[in-house]
Amino acid sequence: MENKPEMRQWLEDFKLDHPLVIAGPCSAETEEQVLDIARQLKDTKVSIYRAGIWKPRTRPGGFEGVGAIGLKWLQKAKGETGLLMAVEVANAHHVKLALEHDMDVLWIGARTTVNPFAVQEIADALADTDKIVLIKNPVNPDLALWLGGVERLYNAGIKKLGVIHRGFSTYEKTKYRNIPEWQLAIELHERFPDLPIICDPSHITGRRSMIQEVSQQALDLNYDGLMIETHNNPDKAWSDAAQQVTPDMLKEILNDLTVRKKTDETHEFNHRLKKLRLRIDEYDTRLIEILGKRMRIADEIGALKRENNVAILQTRRWKQVLDKMTAEGLQENLGEEFILRLFRAIHQESISHQEKIINK
């Protein structure tokens, strides 16, 4: 799929002087709740009101959404406030009901994105629609799967497209509910700069206290908008209570965000930036050279282990390396998670080198 400037037109039609904001409760719970939140979000920076009608749960027994009745509540909220309405769809039946109730924006959730058959079913049901369709990243960090979903929708004649970055699941314990893996979203944006990208800090963080921080990170990375879960009584929400904010909290978050310029055309800025980037390029080249030398030593270790019939993985040694590098990284003001990811990748490459030597 080549760059398609028309995919961005729906966003430009809003004529906003600030990032696009999508907000509303994780789940539509009652008509009163839906209308109360919508009324509080009217006349704010919010352009699109979101509410989950069908909630895919990891295990049965949890609240799975109120179903189609919630669409009528959203219709009423739309008529009263003028906000556009957004819902998640997971199959063709959901699409049919959403279209019948004149929903303006449909998004495909992370659990659905992982299933190309489901995405194709939704794309076929939406063929040639003029609705805005957004696709969340898959649960696992798979860029090809994410892009594949966009391509299926575009090939079905859907031109008003965008993606939502909501983070990725991990077995590791981190401060995030879903680790951002910013580099994947950045790569997607670099490949398709005309494809609007929206950050969902609610699902990335899993807790309201971090939403401001992650929202600012997204804007610093030139994201086009934010999707923030907003509830009139978050602590009593029927789903994802910890990550929802009140309408007043949302207003405060949005007011405190700094929106950066996309670039600066002045000669002084570009001259200084070029010099700094040249220095970065020099260090990047040196990093590659150093890694190459490191892997040649790993090859020698592999040969030594083969000669002495020793196993490749030495757990105690690996833990010592990881602890040492984490401590040294912190002294250099490098994040612990970054150091762990970096050296795990280096360790895996080292193991691959040794496997090739041993299995010759």
Task: Provide the residue ranges of all domains of the chain, joining segments of one domain with +.
Answer: 5-256, 267-358
Residue carrying structure tokens 């951002």: 180
Q: What is the mean pLDDT of the chain?
A: 92
Would you say residue 61 has pLDDT above 70? no
- The CA–CA distances, whole Å, from 162 to 10, 139, 148, 224, 225 equal 10, 17, 13, 10, 10
Handedness of CA 261, 267, 271, 274 (dihedral sign): positive
Residue with structure tokens 């150091």?
339
Least confident span in 7-16, 114-123, 130-139, 263-272: 263-272
Q: Measured on CA atoms in the order 94, 19, 31, 81, is the torsion positive or negative?
A: negative
Is residue 1's pLDDT more than 90?
no
pLDDT surpassing 70 at residue 138: yes
pLDDT at residue 321 above 80? yes
Helices 247-256 & 31-41, crossing angle to 10 degrees? 30
Percent of the chain with pLDDT over 70: 98
CATH number at 5-256: 3.20.20.70
pTM, rounded to two decimals: 0.81
Tell me what the mean pLDDT of segment 64-73 comes to: 90
Alpha carbons 19 and 113: distance in angstroms, whole number: 25
pLDDT > 90? residue 260 = no
Question: Cα-flanking dihedrals φ and ψ of residue 132, to 5°?
Answer: -80, 130
Question: Rounded CA gap, 191 and 193, in Å?
Answer: 6
Residue 180 to residue 201: CA distance in whole angstroms: 9
Candidates 1.20.59.10, 3.40.50.1000, 3.40.50.150, 1.10.510.10; CATH matching 267-358? 1.20.59.10
Average of per-residue pLDDT across 315-342:
91
- Across 276-286, b (16+ Cβ under 10 Å) vs e yields eeeeeeeeeee
For 252-278, the DSSP string reads: HHHHHPPPPPS----HHHHHHHHHHHH
Share of the chain above pLDDT 90, in %: 80
216-227 pLDDT, tens digit per residue, is: 999 999 999 999
| Segment 80-103, tens digit of pLDDT | 999 999 999 999 999 999 999 999
Is pLDDT of 229 > 70? yes
Beta bridge partners of 132: 105
Kindly indicate the confidence band of residue 140, based on its pLDDT and cuts at 50, 70 and 90: very high
pLDDT level of residue 128 (50, 70, 90 thresholds)? confident
Q: Averaged over 330-352, what is the pLDDT?
A: 92
Mark out the alpha helices in the chain (DSSP H runs): 9-12, 31-41, 69-81, 92-100, 110-113, 116-125, 143-155, 182-191, 201-205, 211-220, 247-256, 267-307, 315-331, 336-358
The CA angle 139-98-185, to the nearest 5 degrees, is 30
Contact 207, 243 (CB under 8 A): yes
Average pLDDT over every residue of 37-63: 86
Chain segment 6-42, per-residue pLDDT in tens: 889 999 999 998 999 999 999 999 999 999 999 999 9
**What span, in angstroms and rounded, lies between the C-alpha atoms of 183 and 173?**
19
Query: 198 in helix, strand or coil?
Result: strand
Check: CB of residue 122 under 8 Å from CB of residue 91.
Answer: yes
pLDDT at 62 exceeding the cut of 70: no
Q: Across the strands, what pairs with 86?
A: 50, 105
Q: Residue 58's pLDDT band (boundaries 50, 70, 90)?
A: low
